[in-house]
Amino acid sequence: MKKIIEKLKEKNIKITPQRIAIIEFLMSTKSHPSAEDIYKEISKKYPSMSYATVYNTLITLKNLGEVVELAIDSDKKRFDIDTSLHHHFYCTRCKRVYDLSKNFIIEAISTIDGHNVERTFLNFTGICNKCLKEEKDEQDRKKS
């Protein structure tokens, strides 16, 4: 919490009650909430809260590296303020997202923590070799 506030100050990003409420809510839950979940929860205390502010804050925190946007629920974005290395399990029935530890058996498995795993996706996100090459070519061109 303090660490995030410090980071906001460093970057000249203003500390508003809405932002604090969103950060506090994210830190209080392991539910990997969607923007809507966050909006509804915060609205209880701040009836004037708007979606614009929720999305605004989430994008700000994501850009700071203090929130991770999860692509596990294909219907909507889900957010996690725990940016440490860990993985997720998504229930296709209730849409809950569970944390998985870094240390799990990485074979084709039929059971994790008692869940019935139907399908395993190992997804990696980053900059691809095509983009890296284009970027390098671009730099080389500028040099010469």
Partner DNA sequence: GTTCGTGCAAATCTTTTGCAGTTTC
Partner DNA sequence: GAAACTGCAAAAGATTTGCACGAAC
Binding site for a second copy (CB under 8 A): 68-74, 77, 85, 87-94, 96, 98, 100, 106, 108, 112-132
Nearest approach in angstroms of CB 13 to DNA is: 4
**Contact set with DNA (CB under 7 A):** 9, 12-19, 34-36, 46, 48-53, 55-57, 59-60, 74-77
DSSP state of 99: E
Q: Which residues of 43-70 are buried (b: 16+ CB within 10 A; e: fewer)?
A: eeeeeebeeebbeebbebbeeeebbbeb
Nearest approach in angstroms of CB 21 to DNA is: 9
Give, in order, the Cα–Cα distances in Å from 49 to each of 7, 46, 105, 127.
23, 5, 43, 35
Amino acid in position 4: I
Residues 22, 99: Cα–Cα separation, whole Å: 20
* CB of 64 or CB of 72, closer to a second copy: 72
The answer to whether residues 99 and 82 touch, using CB atoms and an 8 Å cutoff, is yes
87, interface contact from a second copy, DNA, none, CB < 5-8 Å by kind: a second copy
25, interface contact from DNA, a second copy, none, CB < 5-8 Å by kind: none
45, interface contact from a second copy, DNA, none, CB < 5-8 Å by kind: none
